[in-house]
Amino acid sequence: MRVMIIFIIVANTNENKLLTMKRIILICSLLFLNVEYVVSQATDFTTNDCNGVTHNLYDSLDAGNVIVISWVMPCSPCATYSLPAYSAVESFTTSHPERVHFYMADDYANTPCSSLSSWGDNYNMINSTYFSTSDINMNGYGVAGMPKVVVLGGQDHTIFYNKNDANINFNDVQTAISNALGSFVGTNELSSIDFKITSFPNPTVDFLNISYVVKQNEKISFKIINILGEIILVENDNSLNIPGVYNKTINISSLSEGSYFLNVSTSSHSKTLKFVVAY
């Protein structure tokens, strides 16, 4: 953001002084309308976390997840202001399992992953997903800060919260997360069925947790398919699902490590999503 300072030089007459003051007031009013850096949409990225797992932000948001990113420079003050955001994320563990995720990103990607994760674990932020990559850049969210926290959600990839340092607090982050969760269900423009793997981050192990939205009365079939195209597991839901949001867990403990596909189908729609099993 740039702010211009304008000097207006005129002849020294009372009339010109009055005109000058009016012009300065008008110009300053217009400038101050644009002083605040306003950003409404999240900046997409595809990158690996510190465990080598690939994440695409927009894909995660489109699947109904809420992503909370905290940029930190590992230090005590950063922990002080990151912890309220982390605690807000943890408060949704029971009510919205595996839908709200805390990404801890090194501010300028110059801290080794091992140091970043050790620092986060030391401050009991053990469920964080750690990143030390310039692909997750805070410059897309206005003024930089350490820490800086944003709450991202919805299929419009909306920024629900964007604060730095001491302005970060538990209640505001929690409210922003609630709004982000509500926006996904409330503005759903999906086809008659949509689904997501909520054991994010992918890979998963033992259980596949699925959340899906039904817009009309449907009977639903769930199939697990291997990379050879072979159907290795089928679960049919023969009950008539009335419109609403549903959650389902499939036991995949019998699957060996590797890539698989989840196919969810009704009489009129079918969607397939890839997932990875890793022990």
**Coil, helix or strand at residue 24:** helix
DSSP H or E stretch at residue 131: strand 129-131
| Cis geometry, peptide bond prior to residue 74 (ω within 30 degrees of 0) | no
Is the bond leading into 201 cis (omega within 30 degrees of zero)?
yes
Paired residues of 151 in beta bridges: 68, 161
Q: Which residues of the chain, if any, have pLDDT below 70?
A: 1-39, 184-202, 238-244
Check if the beta carbon of residue 55 is closer than 8 Å to that of residue 42: no
**Which ranges of 91-199 would DSSP assign to H, the alpha helix?**
113-122, 170-186
**According to DSSP H, which parts of the chain are helical?**
14-32, 57-62, 76-90, 113-122, 170-186
Structural domains of the chain, with CATH: 1-36 (no CATH), 46-186 (3.40.30.10), 193-277 (2.60.40.2550)
Q: What is the pLDDT of residue 248?
A: 80
Question: Which residue in 148, 146, 116, 141 sits closest to 49, CA to CA?
Answer: 116
pLDDT of residue 195: 55
**Quick one: pLDDT at residue 66?**
94
The per-residue pLDDT for 278 is 86
Sign of CA dihedral 222, 228, 229, 233: negative
